Structure 1
Amino acid sequence: MTFHAPLMLDIAGTELNAEDRRRLAHPLTAGLILFGRNWQSRAQITALCAQVKAIRADLLIAVDHEGGRVQRFRHDGFTHLPPMRRLGEMWLDDGRGQPGAGALKACRAATAAGFVLAAELRACGVDFSFTPVLDLDYGGSSVIGDRALARDPRVVTVLAKSLMHGLLQAGMGNCGKHFPGHGFVKADSHVDMPIDRRSLKAILAEDALPYDSLNTSLMSVMPAHVIYPKVDARPAGFSKRWLQVILREQLGFAGAIISDDLSMDGARQIDGQPVSYTQAALTALDAGCDLALLCNQSLNGGAEIDAALNGLAEAQLKGWWQPQEASEQRRRQLLPQAPALAWEDLMVSPAYQQALEYLP
């Protein structure tokens, strides 16, 4: 029987309760996404991660930890990482008013940021961060804003590759987001359904260019909850054309595809009709996602998580959804392949100390 764990879920507190343990042990659970509410201290988060791995060693423990305003752990020793826009600013100006003259310095800082980010997380037992943001900084998106590296897709590509190199040095994978690009639209897909009316040609030439250039370096991609009506009537994360035809076939991407949070407003309707979380997860998987991410549903007791797990199990039994061995392999490839340095050892590591000096 083909095995495939597709659902990533969350927990409400700073330690596991009986319901959390039951859900994490479910064979259809792929992993856990952590939030600021799950954090009290390094000791606590390290113990929590150990509890998760004791249930199933293959569970992927992930977090949104980009730097700037999207950094879940901010004290008890964790470095305050700059917003990614700061790296783009370094690229454009080295202090002498010469655009592009700071490129090498910016690349070194990006590598350092990736290394520090990943090494600190891994020292506490976290496997993976959903980074880098590959969206372009058009200046009008409140949800992307300074999370973007730059406006120029070539600058974004080079800086993202440097950041990913730093992640890799610390033994962590990467996730390019939000394919094919969320930076052009002003609406926030957390609370709205953004629509980008540009042509496919325009999007491929600008926003999707980093995905094309980094197709052999990216280990995973997160599609946007954005509709591009000149390409498909469905948001990219529910679109076979975007995920299978364009991302897989045309751009040659072979890594994991992870849906953005299915509880966001941008994922609550498909083809103009409201959908359940189970329907959203099944549609994302059918479109080409390997993993379906469902966040913040533990806060009201977790009934929606249970419904999604049960719905996926029923769909499998009835043949509405078929597990994909290739998807499971791509999921497992996101797990660290080597042990991490303990926090105390990391703090005195020459590589870590040097990386701190290179941060902007």
Structure 2
Amino acid sequence: MNKYQKIAQCFSPAAFIHDTEENYQAIEKLIKEQEIGGLTFFHSRHSAAANFEKRAEVLDVSGTFEKLIGLINRYQAISKIPLLISIDGEYGLAMRVEKTPQYPFAITLGALKEDAERWVEEVGFRMGKDMKSSGIHLNLAPCADVNTNPNNPVIGYRSFGNDPEKVAPLAFAAYSGMKKAGIGACLKHFPGHGDTATDSHLGLPILHKTKAELKAEELLPFQYGIDRGVELVMVGHLAVPALTGGKDIPASISRELITDLLKGEMGFKGLVISDALNMKAVANLHPEPGELEWQAFHAGNDILCFSDHVKEGIGKIAENASDKEVDAVFGKVMDLKNRLGVMEFKTIEVPAFDWESHSQLQKDLAENYVSVISGEINTKELQAMAKAGKLGYREFFTQNPSIFSQQLDLPIAPIEQAEKVILAVFVPSHKPLNQFGMDQGVMDELQKLAKSKTCILIHFGNPLALKHLGKLEDFEAVICAYQGFEEVQGVVTQTLQGIEAYGS
């Protein structure tokens, strides 16, 4: 193989499942003419643009999964060397593909009370199995970011928590589960995106911390993983001046950070993947096509993700990199392909998921993480009040009555007559934009009710949204359910009936 062909193996541009035939053919052209090494699949251009355009919704399109399988088969059939197929599925295929199993968010798994590492590894394993059966070789997850900034616009629910000592083993457990399922996984976003206030899709976050502070927090989960043999790390688009001689240079294109710190000082021997090279934090720095790709390669990245200028990038790297550098990276990429079974590609059939087993896992997990986080639940008193016609119920941010309201199975009094009210909040969005999608007027109404009557709050959703619902002490008790899954609603019903698997 010539130098250009070897460099092309580093490239994993974006492929959209829902796209035009013209765009599908453009990907085929990249595969045939540039001989790229892989593809990273996303749902659609619409959902990929959601970050840039400050939209939170996802376009709902039917047949996504079948389309994905069809495209993987179509693209693999024309590639000389089988393609490394990647997806960014932090909570499973469902992050990108409708009607596939969705697993709890990292923040939810961070709330597990018993055997957290074992359960997180099991979730990683199940996710990995779903992906492997779908022709995917590499999941660009989990996040090893420590979410120490509660107002972080981009990490939040994607992190296992705000304590590095807890995040480290859980991120490694998720990674290990995926590896056990036979797919690749990577810790991200090195050197740590948790304490930032800027979304790197939109601008460059700058982390003003000393090296000692970074070692104690941000870098700790990465070092934990490296010490235990993690094979892939994704580098984020954030500047850490303390590690780059005072310069505001994104980590993803910083040789000091990738080659000197990550590979040198921290002893990482595996492959480094760049975060998406189309993100505004870096894309605007090098307007000349191909220059950004060269800077990322020169910094020490082995796989270049979401490059918008593949041909120019290959040309620039070929012009600037030595044969020795190219051979070293090419060797690492081919070794990864061999390890992940990429080279033995066979046509994929659309797999059937075991939904019953998935539902049981969701129930087992929910029994472990649903928690009474404030006050106490007196189940006998609740039953007695319901029988006496003094228990009210109201839910917020639902279009239709929830499964939970049907499962409660208690006589409910009108709010005016009720002495105690159960307030169920179904948080509309897991992202913090516009107060997690919660209307201020509705929240004012909820807070007014909590001050005028004895209320129990049930929070179905991202716990970071709780701060918008008033003080916890305004409620007699607060149950944090973390997610709105059907199984979770069942577990909360059990909690109110006095049936608890793990206690609070």
2:153 to 126, 134, 142: 142
1:205 to 207, 210, 216: 216
SS of the aligned residue for 2:290 comes to: helix
Q: Could you tell me how far 1:321 is from its partner in structure 2?
A: 6.2
Give the superposed CA RMSD: 2.9
Q: Which residue is 1:34 aligned to?
A: 41
**Is the 8 Å Cα contact of residues 116 and 356 (structure 1) preserved in structure 2?**
no
Bigger drift between 184-193 and 229-238 goes to 229-238
**Is the 8 Å Cα contact of residues 64 and 98 (structure 2) preserved in structure 1?**
no
Q: Could you tell me how far 1:329 is from its partner in structure 2?
A: 2.9
For 1:41, the aligned partner's letter is T
For 2:167, the aligned partner's letter is V
SS of the aligned residue for 2:208 comes to: coil
Q: Which residue is 2:122 aligned to?
A: 112
Q: Which residue is 2:314 aligned to?
A: 312
Q: Could you tell me how far 1:277 is from its partner in structure 2?
A: 4.3
**Would you say how many aligned residue pairs link Structure 1 and Structure 2?**
331
Q: Could you tell me how far 1:290 is from its partner in structure 2?
A: 0.8
For the pair 1:191 / 2:202, whether they are aligned, the reply is: yes
Could you give the per-residue CA deviations for residues 234-256 of structure 1, whole angstroms, max 9, x where no partner exists?
11111111111110011111111
For the pair 1:262 / 2:277, whether they are aligned, the reply is: yes
For the pair 1:82 / 2:104, whether they are aligned, the reply is: yes
- Provide closer, same or farther for how the CA distance between residues 36 and 247 of structure 1 changes in structure 2, counting only shifts above 3 A: same
For 1:327, the aligned partner's letter is V
Query: Larger relative CO (CA 8 A, sep 6+): 1 or 2?
Result: 1
- Provide closer, same or farther for how the CA distance between residues 70 and 326 of structure 1 changes in structure 2, counting only shifts above 3 A: farther
**% identity of equivalent residues:** 24
For 1:220, the aligned partner's letter is L
- Provide closer, same or farther for how the CA distance between residues 217 and 277 of structure 1 changes in structure 2, counting only shifts above 3 A: farther
1:321 and 1:282 map into 2 onto residues whose CA distance is: 12
Q: 1:1-360, aligned counterparts within 5 Å?
A: 1=2, 3-4=6-7, 5-12=9-16, 13=18, 17-27=24-34, 29-37=36-44, 40-56=63-79, 57-67=81-91, 71-75=95-99, 78-90=100-112, 94=113, 102=114, 104=115, 106-138=116-148, 139-215=150-226, 216-232=228-244, 233=247, 234-270=249-285, 274-294=286-306, 304-305=308-309, 308-313=310-315, 315-316=317-318, 318-319=319-320, 322=323, 324-335=326-337, 336-337=340-341, 347=354, 358-360=364-366
Tell me the TM-score normalized by structure 2: 0.60
Structure of higher CA gyration radius: 2
Q: Could you tell me how far 1:43 is from its partner in structure 2?
A: 2.4
- Provide closer, same or farther for how the CA distance between residues 113 and 36 of structure 1 changes in structure 2, counting only shifts above 3 A: same
**Is the 8 Å Cα contact of residues 94 and 102 (structure 2) preserved in structure 1?**
no
**Is the 8 Å Cα contact of residues 68 and 83 (structure 1) preserved in structure 2?**
no
Tell me the TM-score normalized by structure 1: 0.82
1:154 and 1:43 map into 2 onto residues whose CA distance is: 40
For 1:51, the aligned partner's letter is R
SS of the aligned residue for 2:15 comes to: coil
Bigger drift between 321-330 and 279-288 goes to 321-330
Q: Could you tell me how far 1:288 is from its partner in structure 2?
A: 0.5
1:349 and 1:69 map into 2 onto residues whose CA distance is: 17
SS of the aligned residue for 2:103 comes to: coil
- Provide closer, same or farther for how the CA distance between residues 257 and 314 of structure 1 changes in structure 2, counting only shifts above 3 A: closer
**Is the 8 Å Cα contact of residues 93 and 101 (structure 2) preserved in structure 1?**
no
SS of the aligned residue for 2:37 comes to: strand
For 2:292, the aligned partner's letter is A
- Provide closer, same or farther for how the CA distance between residues 49 and 160 of structure 1 changes in structure 2, counting only shifts above 3 A: same
